[in-house]
Chain A
């Protein structure tokens, strides 16, 4: 995410290298490149212009007060301004009301139905509330079926009236159903519509009037170009929405919309969709996003994601095993499986400061893990607990079982052994979290 923007920013800041101070001229050249990078990332034209203007003023004004090098200073200012642009603090998301009603709206193909499912899962998991999905997309063929499938995959109830074309009516009855059946939150999925389609906008006005949502969220594809802010503004005029869900941020999108919408429309981005899996929905933190854009990493999010998937007790058990040097292949397998739950590997690694530059151009394949899993799963429980007993005959059997070469088995065993040694030395000083990172880098080879 944001790879492209990051790279260009880097190049822009290079211009300042070797300069002793920030001057009108050198900062001008740098910011010209920054502006180009922003426009290439689909940041709104005016926003980009104003942004670079502000950075320039700040940079020239602050020059004498600091001992930072010009490059560093400019990165710092850019970071501050980026954060401001995206809305400073993370916006609140409340699931209040009896039931809480969340209305999703947006253009066609933005990802409303999928994100209705993701949001439902997030509310059930993190807010511990029972959710009902209401299918008000009566226009797109099979949209209702899609919501049902999505609902089923996250284990959330779906209220639908197949064949009925009256969206406000469905919303009303869906809400009544939620009340009588004890659902604490309702998410209303609506049809995609163009902001200039008067009939459709009237329909959603009606849905809103009937449903009285506690949160109205505008769903927008992060790959949208210059039209993103215009569309968001038009929707906002009609619906006065509370926040934005930015979808498909896992592509190599440059996410310009993330940078422009808040400053143009004045509404916060609340969530970002970062993958196809149903748990790939994150709370949007402007500050962390700015850090990611500038290649500063995002350790906080990484740790948070880890906390979501890692069971504390399990972690304590592992740690004690590592201390006693009893960490075995079975534990290793479990760790890999947990890591996989955290999401796309390259995304994860790029949250480590300095990593994203190192990763540039390297294609990290999530299948690396599959190969390791495959080999371990071809071992007997004894072999997993006690890799020492794996002799050539066993190796051959494992190779055959996993469809790999003997060399692959050897390599894995060696990596595992190195990792175990490293973990042991580390845990004598540091805690368990570090060992996880060590496991990661050992895997990368």
Chain B
């Protein structure tokens, strides 16, 4: 499977062992059982598909929609090669995603005449914002960009320290004030410093906020306004970090953050567990936002480009038998 191959191309043995163990749970997912051999397309099959989608957190509405599309296309009450049905299913799922995700180009940092490329990272508590920023910093640095981090999470205890550890580990500068400082002021300082240093990329961490806390959401709007004053047009990107194990609430999170901050991309973390992140389908159906990265582990290289085919593979493994063969031969 491509997901496995990917891990193999990464050098580390340790990564590899972990990865294998984890991806097996993907291979043996419910859908694997559904798509084998040749069988009648009937209500029972539809029920199995429904269960598979829902247990992958795809959500009721999106599942119903996918299944009704499938009903229209498939030959109901007739025998069908499951491969063919699976192909249809995948097309329908892929169609839900933003066009950026359907192309194979990875995200590249653009140049701006006015200053650095500014990325604001937002999300609810505990989704992995700070960790993702550390990983992003390493990635962009390796691509040859000069990176500056801004610690505007001045609320959570020790969030600044956590980002500091990452900055040191990766070897990039960090702008911070004390705990309880005004996040907008930190953002302001960071951007000024970035302009002075001529940094290529600025990534700003923010405090986790539950999306239904209005005051905090307004604070975010203020951070944005301040940024625009220092570097016109910034932030160029607002990335919303979602925990891959979150269920249907992620849709609500996306909705609320979109309403206040014009989210331009998603980072889905913690996909190395048994969670499948199927809610991304529901989000893609409702909002037009591309998924930029996925997090599949604790190390910096475990933040990977989102590649739609691979993601769909992990939801619906392509031909169980082939998938198993490659697992065996590779391990």
A residues whose Cβ falls under 8 Å from a Cβ of B: 36, 39-42, 45, 107-111, 113, 139-143, 145-150, 153, 194-198, 221, 223-228, 230-231, 234, 248, 250-254, 256, 363, 365, 367
- Once the chains bind, are B21 and A221 in contact (CB under 8 Å)? no
Nearest residue (CB) in B for A110 is B126
Given A142-B165, A225-B245, check contact A150 B54 (CB 8 Å).
Answer: no
Q: Return the contact of B56 from the options A150, A153, A226 (Cβ within 8 A).
A: A226
- In angstroms, how far is the closest chain A Cβ from the Cβ of B217? 12
Q: Return the contact of B245 from the options A107, A150, A153, A248 (Cβ within 8 A).
A: A107
User: Contacts A142-B159, A146-B156, A225-B279 given; 14 further ones with Cβ under 8 A?
Assistant: A39-B60, A40-B59, A42-B249, A113-B157, A143-B162, A145-B157, A146-B162, A149-B179, A196-B274, A223-B249, A226-B54, A228-B247, A231-B245, A250-B210
- Once the chains bind, are B247 and A109 in contact (CB under 8 Å)? no
B residues whose Cβ falls under 8 Å from a Cβ of A: 18, 21-22, 25, 51, 54-57, 59-61, 124-128, 156-159, 161-162, 164-166, 179, 210-212, 214-215, 243, 245-250, 252, 270, 272-276, 278-279, 298
- Once the chains bind, are A141 and B162 in contact (CB under 8 Å)? yes
- Separation of A377 and B246 alpha carbons in the complex (Å): 44
Chain B residues near A365 (CB-CB < 8 A): 214
- Once the chains bind, are B126 and A141 in contact (CB under 8 Å)? no
Chain B residues near A36 (CB-CB < 8 A): 60
Chain B residues near A113 (CB-CB < 8 A): 157
- In angstroms, how far is the closest chain B Cβ from the Cβ of A195? 7
Chain A residues near B245 (CB-CB < 8 A): 107, 221, 224-225, 227-228, 231
Given A140-B162, A198-B21, A251-B124, check contact A230 B274 (CB 8 Å).
Answer: yes
Chain A residues near B18 (CB-CB < 8 A): 197
Chain A residues near B157 (CB-CB < 8 A): 113, 145-150, 153
Nearest residue (CB) in B for A198 is B21
- Once the chains bind, are A227 and B128 in contact (CB under 8 Å)? no
- Separation of A139 and B249 alpha carbons in the complex (Å): 28
> Could you show 26 A-B contacts with beta carbons less than 8 Å apart?
A39-B54, A45-B55, A107-B245, A107-B270, A109-B126, A109-B128, A109-B243, A109-B270, A141-B161, A141-B162, A141-B166, A142-B164, A145-B158, A146-B158, A148-B157, A148-B158, A196-B273, A198-B21, A221-B126, A221-B243, A224-B247, A225-B245, A225-B248, A230-B274, A252-B252, A367-B215
Given A225-B245, A251-B249, check contact A111 B125 (CB 8 Å).
Answer: yes
